[in-house]
Amino acid sequence: MRPKHLSAKKPAEQVVKDIRRHPVAFAELIRGLRDAPPDALLRVVREVRDGDW
């Protein structure tokens, strides 16, 4: 099953839309993860994906 946020549009279009809604937050996130090891990056991805918002 596809995640709800990917069901209506192409994934790349939705990612751009999300980044445009929160550009400062995404910039800080990317800068903060720039030097992170791959396992730390995957841990963040899983936490966000599986989070209970």
* Rounded CA separation 1/33 (Å): 28
The mean predicted confidence, pLDDT, of the chain is 85
Looking at the domain assignment, is residue 10 inside a domain?
no
Looking at the domain assignment, is residue 42 inside a domain?
yes
Q: Are 5 and 14 in contact (CB under 8 A)?
A: yes
Looking at the domain assignment, is residue 31 inside a domain?
yes
Looking at the domain assignment, is residue 6 inside a domain?
no
Q: Are 33 and 44 in contact (CB under 8 A)?
A: yes
Q: Is the confidence at residue 1, as pLDDT, over 70?
A: no
Looking at the domain assignment, is residue 11 inside a domain?
no
Instruction: Dump pLDDT digits (tens) for 6-29.
Output: 555 688 999 999 999 999 999 999
Query: What is the model's pLDDT at position 10?
Result: 80
Looking at the domain assignment, is residue 8 inside a domain?
no
Looking at the domain assignment, is residue 43 inside a domain?
yes
33: containing domain:
22-48
Looking at the domain assignment, is residue 16 inside a domain?
no
DSSP 9: S
Query: What is the model's pLDDT at position 17?
Result: 94
How many structural domains comprise the chain? 1
* Rounded CA separation 28/34 (Å): 10
At residue 4 the predicted structure's pLDDT band, cuts being 50, 70 and 90, is low
Encoded amino acid at 49, one letter: R
Higher pLDDT, 11 or 3: 11
